[in-house]
Structure 1
């Protein structure tokens, strides 16, 4: 796209979102309950063009985060800055949809992002802002976030109405159906859905609450990829599988289009249920990545051959020579306790032999939490969430770091005389969102981080965030 269409797109987004945004939504599907916010009637964002159903939605989100000085006996190349710091992100997205055939839709999401993350996005496993991975400086960047087609094959079963929303035209489907999605999208658009902890724009902000932190899903540096996904709905069961493009280099912006040579595969089985007429679900997700990656044992051996010159270096770059396999498996469960309150939990482990491909530095992770809306204090559109997370490293990754190695996001090595004690990274997070005016919410978020980047000699860090979000 040229610069002029970008400016027009941005102007449209700001103008529309400023006057006609919707308040946040709480999940989707026929079994939706008012866990986070009561449904708010929207504007006529769905219509017809040339006899073809279309819809248009948008969002804009601003997040500002700050922390004061924290304890640090030393700092290394990839340490979180121990001095008082400020970070922010701003994003805007348009969601275009069109039904080109009775059961076939196409969607396109142009997006703009600007922002400055803490310490150039280094010094943590569980980063504090899910939008920060997309930000690359104060200058706004425009790009395509999603451009995909979705085809539904209905089978016999109960009728389910999917309501008009972002990337979903109003549609009546069967409870038994197959859904195929192909094109550009995020792996997390399909997998590991959660009513309580999913979207950093309106729920928890920390990466460990976007998904399993140890789930190294295939994506470019912004979190999107190209691929094909299939979902099979059988009443209360859902089975999902996909293959997504891997980046050309770990955590890189460019994707490798050799889909049979470098890729990320995942499968998920989900069982939905009702307890006392309140919905819940349990799901198991496993992934298998293949691409040229460094093995931590090889990188550690490389440093030990000449520690005088190789300590403090990103030695993984020197041993990345052949395709490696990386695998992991996780469990996700959630349950509504009342119409206004629900709980969730996630646990995941990866094999830990190889470096991170696309997400962040974690080999095992667990998170638990709850979310509720403000019905009890007569503000049903307000929401609150509380969460606890623990992230850990494999013995292979720890050995590499203790030998003096540095990776993309972590590595506090500063001198040969320094002894680093690695411990699990523990994070507590709480947020409150208030509907300030109709269709616009503002929120506060607090995160307490113990052992940032798994280093017990640094921290804790207390991070206070302010957020404003609008949709239409």
Structure 2
């Protein structure tokens, strides 16, 4: 624990040092303003838009203690990885309330160990399919239709995959096509985008949210959202891979996932916040951990979930909270659970997760484009999953060949993002992982990352 408590204390001290002036100023009595409240300028509607983003992430960790290793382990030797991706976004308004978006994405490079070694993996922008030469794919191709139902104005600001448009607070939004399920579900203002905030997989979403996706994070599906006042309800159905952790999706939705989410937006002390509660059910061919372990004991071979797969259901749930506590200071947290009886299907090998963090805008010290943030994550696997790994089983991202001394995976991530030009940021990120892949006999792993992000 000492190895993670020292950096945690340092990160907390650093973050609070930036946050304290904001909190102190926020606590001071404020004289009532004599100026009349300004009306928010309505958004100028867009008929079309084109955007571009490029993200380059360089990562390195030094050699660490390792009593043994397996096929899906972090290599204990000092290791460096580099990933580059670029996305062209093109959107058009075909009719009132409608948007059609297409994204062409280019990838190149390998994350450290080619995206293997920790359940909370260290590069959320790196695809599971690394290649030394650049290659391109259509990442998204979807249609979104918004039906205004009245109420006060709640305009949509222009953004990636979102045309600037006027809309009302009460509305229904339908989305269908090829997309990422987390475009709609488990969003969070402070921890959701590995190109600009936290890099760790178990911080950009709840690590146990085993959302439907191919090896690049995308799938086919549809979602409906109903906004009424400060509430929103969402439901979606998405296509699964043909087998767990595969690059090919089913052609007929014979294996699928259903997700439902309720959101309540509110103000606390006059500051915005939100809470989201969701559940999901994955329906597909998946192996039961204890069946795979029993077969391994009977045959003397390593456990393999692929040998015991049957059509089953795997449920899960998450709680997602965000709250602004002072100007430019936000707190966030997530709790997540998934049924650990069965193997994870698409995302990563996490059955229980908890995270908490703070994000502080550089506007507090005259650097509007900067951000400093810190977060702690604790990930865990079911006892059945631990027995499976100890029998030589491999998960989506982990598998050290054996697991005689399992323990929760603990992650501390801190970053400083420097905005030095419009649409351009440079970030220094550090992730300390204790018990990588739930293994007390390996680590800790200390990963330092440099990230350059351009967006237009």
Regarding TM over 0.5, the answer is yes
The partner residue of 1:128 within 105, 122, 132 is 122
Confirm or deny: 8 A CA contact 1:113 1:134 kept in the other structure.
no
Q: Find out whether 1:348 has 2:342 as its counterpart.
A: no
Confirm or deny: 8 A CA contact 1:47 1:55 kept in the other structure.
no
Q: Find out whether 1:401 has 2:389 as its counterpart.
A: yes
Cα distance, 1:134 vs structure 2: 5.0
Confirm or deny: 8 A CA contact 1:114 1:135 kept in the other structure.
no
Q: Match of 1:359?
A: 347
In 1: Cα distance, 2:421 partner to 2:153 partner: 35
Q: Match of 1:372?
A: 360
Can you give the 5+ residue segments of structure 2 that lack an aligned partner in the other structure?
Answer: 1-43
Relative to structure 1, is the Cα distance of residues 318 and 68 closer, same or farther in structure 2, using a 3 angstrom cutoff? Answer: same
Q: Match of 2:370?
A: 382
Q: Find out whether 1:316 has 2:305 as its counterpart.
A: yes
Deviation per CA, 1:50-96, whole angstroms, max 9, x where unpaired? xxx11111110000000100001111222110000001110101111
Relative to structure 1, is the Cα distance of residues 104 and 438 closer, same or farther in structure 2, using a 3 angstrom cutoff? Answer: closer
Cα distance, 1:437 vs structure 2: 2.8
Q: Match of 1:421?
A: 405
Q: Report the TM-score, using the length of structure 2 for normalisation.
A: 0.88
Confirm or deny: 8 A CA contact 1:110 1:144 kept in the other structure.
yes
Q: Report the TM-score, using the length of structure 1 for normalisation.
A: 0.86
Mapping of 1:199-278 within 5 angstroms?
199-259=193-253, 261-278=254-271
RMSD across aligned positions (CA): 1.3
Give 4+ residue runs of structure 1 displaced > 4 Å after superposition: none
In 2: Cα distance, 1:102 partner to 1:438 partner: 31
In 2: Cα distance, 1:440 partner to 1:132 partner: 19
Secondary structure class of the residue paired with 1:158: strand
Mapping of 1:321-332 within 5 angstroms?
322-332=310-320
Count of equivalent residues: 413
In 1: Cα distance, 2:373 partner to 2:215 partner: 28
In 1: Cα distance, 2:83 partner to 2:398 partner: 21
Q: Match of 2:147?
A: 153
Mapping of 1:93-172 within 5 angstroms?
93-172=87-166
In 2: Cα distance, 1:289 partner to 1:463 partner: 32
Cα distance, 1:317 vs structure 2: 1.8
Q: Match of 2:418?
A: 434
Q: Find out whether 1:177 has 2:171 as its counterpart.
A: yes
Q: Match of 1:41?
A: none
The partner residue of 2:83 within 79, 82, 89 is 89
The partner residue of 2:54 within 60, 64, 76 is 60
